[in-house]
Structure 1
Amino acid sequence: MTGEADTLYQIGLGEQAAGRLDAAIAWFDAALRARPDFPEALCSGGYILQSRGYAAGALAFYDRALHFDPVYAVAWFNRGGLLLAHGNAEAALSCFDRACASQPEYAGAHCNRGAALYALGRLREAAEAYRQALGLQEDLPEAELNLGNALMRLGRNEEARQAYLRAIVLRSDYALAFCGLGIVAKELGHFDEAMRAFDQSLCLAPDSEEARCNKGCLQLLLGDFAEGWEGYEYRWAEGRRPVPASAARLYLNDAARLAGQKILVVHDHGLGDAIQFFRYVVLLAQAGAEIAFAGPRKLRRLFASSAAPIAWRNEEDLSGNFDAVLAISSLPRACFTRMDTIPSPIPYLRAEPERVALWRERLAGAGLKIGLCWRGNIDFRVDPRRSIPPESLLPLTKLEGISLFSLQKGANEAVPAALAERVRSFAKDFDDGPDAFIDTAALMVKLDLIVTCDTSIAHLAGALGRPVWVALRHVSEWRWMTERMDSPWYPTMRLFRCDDNDDWPALFEDIAVEIRRYFSS
């Protein structure tokens, strides 16, 4: 029966290779009737089920194959790929570990093991797994691409650039590799190379949302708002767009056209983005539009300080009839924003007087006061390199006659003793209620200066009209542009940029010098 089963299985493989999947399944079923304990046929049948979206059935086939052959590397590989595709990276990693252990020369298993490690944020291990795969099979463009992705997240940009270039040599039509090259070239400050790479990626894959978005962000970084906003409309991963793209155009300077317009604005990104672009919501409401804002409940109290007539609703509530429905980050595009027309009605947010009085009392006698924030979102997918290593702030501890305060909620990570001794923290009772930034805003009003990394604290200080200095990497996010020391978004903001090595300690030596000048003038 084994010979018959093998013959039936080989016929099925031929049908599968020809794309005749129904016929392939029929032959695999016939092989399994001849030999029920046939792991290869089970695995092949599971793969077809997986390709057709039947995840549970595919998993059952893989498990049955592994019951009969616990060291069957391909079954472990396929099982891991299915689990990884469904967001279970930890279980997927275990499968790829088993595949690599069963078949150490299996380059694809090492490559996918790297993908699982990457999804778990274990970037150094991911890079090593990709290198192992390439050591086993040099002509593996997917491994080079993924190696580039991991290295870029680790801040090893030139190494990442070389990995993307090797991927392109291996596959000249590799749109994803050109897109990766564009991203890392932008990070290195090679803006012309980045633009060429994005254009090539789009030439190969015109519908690539990743390439469109990243090209748009580069255009915004370089001040080309007319084109940049168009690309920025593709900033969501496929399927995650909170509302459909809108063709609405809103004329902030024409109250007659806005009066009575019913507009639903939907929160779409981080808290900093919401704060930055909430100015448009305020201006539209003040111009006579009927605005409903669907956003996080925790921001409602802060945003209500604008006193704009806005109907609040939860961010999942998109019901009702409106003349326009837009994501909040799409408002600059809808309002025709250009470099010289960025609206800056500063302040457009305000601290609550009762809270300000409370913090005035708590800070009494502190002398000159500086608020500090050095950590933003720690999720590796949100560019943790915007955060500042705490030891880099040590030059600020040498400033005399100045009190330092932490603006970070629950910032319990280890910091140098000299910094911990100088920086006063309010972690126990600081913004501990359901409303975000209420204490932070009030505290900012009583500070003489805010020094922060690129995070929501920077946007809040700018929206409140407080003096704020933002410490940036050499090539920063698009909203801070290039080379500028000021921000057209926030008139009270000053920008400080690292050199091309992102030397944070050197930057804070400079900031400490500027603080002395600031308070002595």
Structure 2
Amino acid sequence: MTTPITLQGALNLAWQHWNAGQTAQAEHYCRQILAHHPGQPDALHLLGLVAHAAGDLDNAIACLRDACSAPQFPALYASNLAEMYRQKKALAEGERWARKAVSLDPSLVGGWNNLGILLQEQGKLVESVLCLEKVQALTPDSAQAHGNLANTLRRLGRLDEALTHYQRALTLSPQDAVLHNNIAGLLLEAGKLQEALAHSQQALRLNPKLIEGWINLVSIYLAAGNLDLASQALVRLQGLAPLHPATQQKQAQLQTLQGQTLESTDTAHGPVLEQAEHSLHQGKYADAEALLRPLLSSGKGPLAVWKLLSVALRGQGQLEETLHIQQMLVDHLPGDAVSRFDLAETLLLTGDFDRGWREYRHRYEMEHTRPLARRVQAPRWSGQAMPGKTLLIFDEQGFGDTLQFIRFVHQAKRQSQARIVLDVHPLLLALARRAFPDEQVIGRGELPPAFDAHCELMDLPELFSLQPAELPVETGYLHADIERLAHWQERLARLPHPWVALVWAGRPTHINDHRRSLHLQQFAPLARVNATFLLIQKGDTATQAPPPGMNTVSLSDEIRDFDDTAAILALADLLISVDSSPVHLAGALQRPCWTLLPFIPDWRWLMTREDSPWYPGMKLFRQPTRDDWETTLERVARELADWSAELQ
């Protein structure tokens, strides 16, 4: 008999899921609590935090207001509500709730801090200083406390005092880009341009996306009369924040000093850009390049043109020039996550792992990937040893990603010296548990035990400084289930060898699926080979009819999960597949595999080579030119015939 869960037990579970970054599960428990205990303030408070993490500020405020309407509620709830009102720019309402927080708990540091900042933003500077001095007294070793107090003192014109607190904060947190930038601004006000420049440049080294940092840098160059450097810094500011009032103000200031008006080239080139985008959408990369080149004949031009040109060049395999343009775009648009991700993929495709892994960290910062990011409350693991502690490692977006990178768990264990908890998709759970019998392996959404740090699987290569020459790192790290092997051995026993497993399409939602997937009819050249083709395709494309004369056995409807696929691949003589998860499963099982790749493949296959450093023994069949699967499959058919003859 299941013991009914108590209110406190449900709250504990909700918080544990929240701390593990499992926001859907945390929200579920909160809503279950509220269904049985309407108005329960603790559930409403956490539900507000969940909404805030999802970017729904209005809903977050509504939840926290309801939490603070209870007869008794913690001061922290009022303090958090005050901060959300501040983010909403409802400063007076935020001040009211911040005052409520410190009246409920005069020792609440966060409450005094929020009140001080809200007063500062309303221009109530003397009162703000009193609040922030209290915060600094309560937390004398807090860099944030010194920094916030310095911000208000600076606005009051008490520059010497402000600088003292900034410097104290910087001693406590020397890698804080915002502190360096604030000091730069203060020194600029004081006319100390060289010192200001040094701090401004350090701020941007630490955080190239810091908008206020670029604003300060432009201002410093303008104050020094260096219009060329001011113009260069302004381009980067425009890339980060084109609509920011300071961006437009600095542009007008620079134009006045230069005595000129800058033409809006983006508008002038609009029709050509539309034509180029249409060509790119149709895969006519050379046509797009021909349209774009004249706009950049001087070596200069709008970033929008350069962006499109980089896509056109990459599509034609001109990767050296692509890299040059993509790096320029990232230099000019440090806050553009799409540009950084594009650069990462090209760097990795060309084997530049040092820079590639570093830029690949931006994969969850794009608009379409941001909702997929897991917001874990514990610190991110930075590669340090942490004996006696627990490290949570969790999987990535695609099954193939997990199957490829799960090999690094053993290395993470050795380097961290920690207890490992591995969190994977439930469909991969059995495979992962067989691979790591000494670690705790849980299914996605399952509550992990308490942990001290976390890391995504695909961040591990950067932490290990992985180089191509170090691959494959580990081979044969996954294993088929013995019982499934016995089942499929019996199922396939009467079929004549060789057994060639076949996968012809990937996941339709993949961004590049139209380049990698085929129709089963396109495999007609393989019908000439005397082999039994085991069709293990899943999804809607599994119903496609095979070409005439091909000896096929469809197993798709009988495959329940990856354990069935693993058992079939362990028994098959060969897998022939497009770039999809079965390729990585075969590689991880150390089974023979021939992988079909488009002209410009996914980064993990590198360029030109016919083997894979990730999976020894795998053979790669690349399109000789874009969209030419016919030539590729004819070559596969010839080599398959030779291979089959050798087995006889």
Moved more, 142-151 or 445-454: 142-151
The structure with the greater share of residues assigned to helix is 2
2:430 to 301, 306, 331: 301
Counting only pairs closer than 5 Å after superposition, residues 82-231 of structure 1 correspond to structure 2 as 148=276, 151-162=279-290, 174-231=302-359
Q: Who is 1:388 aligned against? A: 518
Q: Who is 2:374 aligned against? A: 242
Q: Normalising by the residue count of structure 1, what TM-score does the alignment of the two structures yield?
A: 0.65
For the residues of structure 2 that align with 1:322 and 1:339, how far apart are their CA atoms? 32
For the residues of structure 1 that align with 2:428 and 2:275, how far apart are their CA atoms? 38
Is the Cα–Cα contact under 8 Å of residues 249 and 334 in structure 1 kept in the other structure?
A: yes
Q: Who is 2:616 aligned against? A: 491
1:447 to 555, 567, 572: 572
Q: Who is 1:503 aligned against? A: 628
For the residues of structure 1 that align with 2:444 and 2:543, how far apart are their CA atoms? 35
Q: Over residues 280-334 of structure 1, what are the superposed CA-to-partner deviations in whole Å (9 max), with x where a residue is unaligned? A: 1244347753111233222212211213333234535687654431111111111
Is the Cα–Cα contact under 8 Å of residues 542 and 556 in structure 2 kept in the other structure?
A: no
Query: What secondary structure sits across from 2:351 in the alignment?
Result: coil
For the residues of structure 2 that align with 1:154 and 1:247, how far apart are their CA atoms? 43
Whether 1:362 aligns to 2:498 is no
1:279 to 407, 413, 418: 407
Residue 485 of structure 1 aligns to which amino acid in structure 2? E
Counting only pairs closer than 5 Å after superposition, residues 426-441 of structure 1 correspond to structure 2 as 426-431=555-560, 436-441=561-566
Change (3 A) 1:303 1:384: farther
Change (3 A) 1:311 1:417: closer
1:479 to 587, 601, 604: 604
TM-align CA RMSD: 3.1
Whether 1:397 aligns to 2:527 is yes
Change (3 A) 1:504 1:318: same
Is the Cα–Cα contact under 8 Å of residues 292 and 312 in structure 1 kept in the other structure?
A: yes
Aligned residues: 375
| Shift, 1:368, TM fit | 0.8
| Shift, 1:428, TM fit | 2.4
Moved more, 216-225 or 284-293: 284-293
Residue 465 of structure 2 aligns to which amino acid in structure 1? F
| Shift, 1:160, TM fit | 3.9
| Shift, 1:482, TM fit | 0.8
Q: Who is 1:339 aligned against? A: 468
Whether 1:406 aligns to 2:535 is yes
Is the Cα–Cα contact under 8 Å of residues 393 and 419 in structure 1 kept in the other structure?
A: no
Q: Over residues 140-169 of structure 1, what are the superposed CA-to-partner deviations in whole Å (9 max), with x where a residue is unaligned? A: 756765665564454332234446557878
Residue 224 of structure 1 aligns to which amino acid in structure 2? D
Is the Cα–Cα contact under 8 Å of residues 285 and 309 in structure 1 kept in the other structure?
A: no
Q: Normalising by the residue count of structure 2, what TM-score does the alignment of the two structures yield?
A: 0.53
Change (3 A) 1:154 1:289: farther
Is the Cα–Cα contact under 8 Å of residues 429 and 442 in structure 2 kept in the other structure?
A: no
For the residues of structure 2 that align with 1:371 and 1:514, how far apart are their CA atoms? 16
Q: Who is 1:518 aligned against? A: 643
Residue 528 of structure 2 aligns to which amino acid in structure 1? K
Residue 395 of structure 2 aligns to which amino acid in structure 1? H
Q: Over residues 154-211 of structure 1, what are the superposed CA-to-partner deviations in whole Å (9 max), with x where a residue is unaligned? A: 4332234446557878996543442343233122110122012212312331222111
Moved more, 324-333 or 151-160: 151-160
Q: Over residues 247-270 of structure 1, what are the superposed CA-to-partner deviations in whole Å (9 max), with x where a residue is unaligned? A: 6126xxxxxx46545211122221
For the residues of structure 1 that align with 2:543 and 2:508, how far apart are their CA atoms? 14
Whether 1:264 aligns to 2:396 is no
Change (3 A) 1:183 1:315: farther
Q: Who is 1:469 aligned against? A: 594
Change (3 A) 1:383 1:415: closer
Is the Cα–Cα contact under 8 Å of residues 485 and 494 in structure 1 kept in the other structure?
A: yes
Change (3 A) 1:313 1:292: same
For the residues of structure 2 that align with 1:141 and 1:321, how far apart are their CA atoms? 56
Residue 279 of structure 1 aligns to which amino acid in structure 2? R
Query: What secondary structure sits across from 1:158 in the alignment?
Result: helix
- The structure with higher relative contact order (CA 8 Å, sep 6+) is 1
| Shift, 1:390, TM fit | 2.7
Query: What secondary structure sits across from 2:455 in the alignment?
Result: strand
Query: What secondary structure sits across from 1:484 in the alignment?
Result: coil
Change (3 A) 1:149 1:286: farther
Is the Cα–Cα contact under 8 Å of residues 501 and 569 in structure 2 kept in the other structure?
A: yes
| Shift, 1:391, TM fit | 2.9
For the residues of structure 1 that align with 2:623 and 2:397, how far apart are their CA atoms? 26
Runs of 5+ in structure 2 lacking a partner? 1-87, 90-265
Q: Which has the larger radius of gyration?
A: 2
Change (3 A) 1:230 1:473: same
For the residues of structure 2 that align with 1:349 and 1:297, how far apart are their CA atoms? 16
Change (3 A) 1:162 1:423: farther
Work out the percentage of aligned pairs sharing the same amino acid: 27
Is the Cα–Cα contact under 8 Å of residues 373 and 452 in structure 1 kept in the other structure?
A: yes
Q: Who is 1:351 aligned against? A: 480
Is the Cα–Cα contact under 8 Å of residues 472 and 615 in structure 2 kept in the other structure?
A: no
Is the Cα–Cα contact under 8 Å of residues 502 and 577 in structure 2 kept in the other structure?
A: yes
For the residues of structure 2 that align with 1:228 and 1:352, how far apart are their CA atoms? 36
Is the Cα–Cα contact under 8 Å of residues 243 and 325 in structure 1 kept in the other structure?
A: no
Residue 356 of structure 2 aligns to which amino acid in structure 1? G
| Shift, 1:335, TM fit | 1.6
Is the Cα–Cα contact under 8 Å of residues 610 and 621 in structure 2 kept in the other structure?
A: yes
Is the Cα–Cα contact under 8 Å of residues 569 and 591 in structure 2 kept in the other structure?
A: yes
For the residues of structure 2 that align with 1:218 and 1:478, how far apart are their CA atoms? 7
Q: Who is 1:292 aligned against? A: 421
| Shift, 1:278, TM fit | 0.6
